[in-house]
Amino acid sequence: MAGDAYGWEELCNTDKDDYAKVYRVRHLFCHGTASVSDYGSLCDKRHGYENGDEESDGNGYEDGHGDGYHRGAWRHDLMGLYKPYLDNPDAPAKKLTVGIGLKLPTGKNDDETDSGNLAHAVMQAGTGSWDPLFLINYLHTLSPVVFQANLLYHATTEGDEGYEFGDKVSLDLIARYLLTSYVNPGLELNLFYAGQDTDHDDRYSRPDESLLDNTDNTGITSVSITPSLQIRMPKTGGSIDLKFQQPLYQHARGIQQVVDWRAMASIVWAF
């Protein structure tokens, strides 16, 4: 989980009432390589593990069957939004939105390897945890361009199998061009921080066997640039958001998987 562009900013531009109940489903694909990043640079661009292969190659990296790492995972979040400031209730050019939400434990997190051990937590589809989400968003329209600043704090909790991912903080600076009423291309600068993970019951961690199974090799700070395309569904509260994220800087703790690029697709509905 080396970085995350949550994409809640599209919900803060809804025409719904001050309080909006929101539901989002996202699917994500990413490609990355293992990297020694003690010095804050991607200095050993070796290919990493793929498809959950647990066999070590003797150098601390996981063997793969191809040239990289590919993962898809479903995630479900719920969030309530409130708008404490609007400069014009009918057609606001400036708007402040705050939100409180919850990440749901919808993904499976107890998959096992052929040896009967739990596959590492980062290879599981879910976390087994109920995680609070806190959002602050500011929007300023200078037609036909909309600028947004989006701050999100993801307070992670211990999952039902004893693993706790590090807390996450993301800051997204966004510009969207209102090409039509329904199609809005954009560009983002994404700053992201994730803290160190904790395996409370030592069920996932086997640091003597693999670098992946050592929580000392978790936690990252990154800066990315993200072109995007938002497609609004006419006469509904729905939208589709497509993004391609390219990291500019990544500093990971220890030796761990980092992202070369990330492609995201979100379906968002406000009602």
Looking at residue 11, what is its pLDDT?
Answer: 58
Tell me: the pLDDT tens digits for 183-230? 999 999 999 999 999 888 887 777 666 777 788 888 999 999 999 999
Whether the predicted model's global pTM rises above the 0.85 cut: no
Band of the pLDDT at 3, cuts 50, 70, 90? Answer: very low
Band of the pLDDT at 47, cuts 50, 70, 90? Answer: very low
Q: Any idea what the Cα angle at residue 105 is, between residues 102 and 108, rounded to 5°?
A: 160
**Ordered structural domains, the chain, with CATH:** 8-270 (2.40.128)
DSSP 8-state assignment for residue 166: P
- Please report where in the chains the tokens 């150098």 appear, as a residue: 59
Dihedral sign, Cα of residue 36, residue 46, residue 227, residue 265: negative
Q: Are the beta carbons of 166 and 155 closer than 8 angstroms?
A: no
Please give the Cα distance from 29 to 71 (Å, whole number).
6
Please give the Cα distance from 119 to 229 (Å, whole number).
35
- Token pair of 133 as six digits: 């989400």
Q: For residue 157, how many other CB atoms are within 10 A of its CB?
A: 15
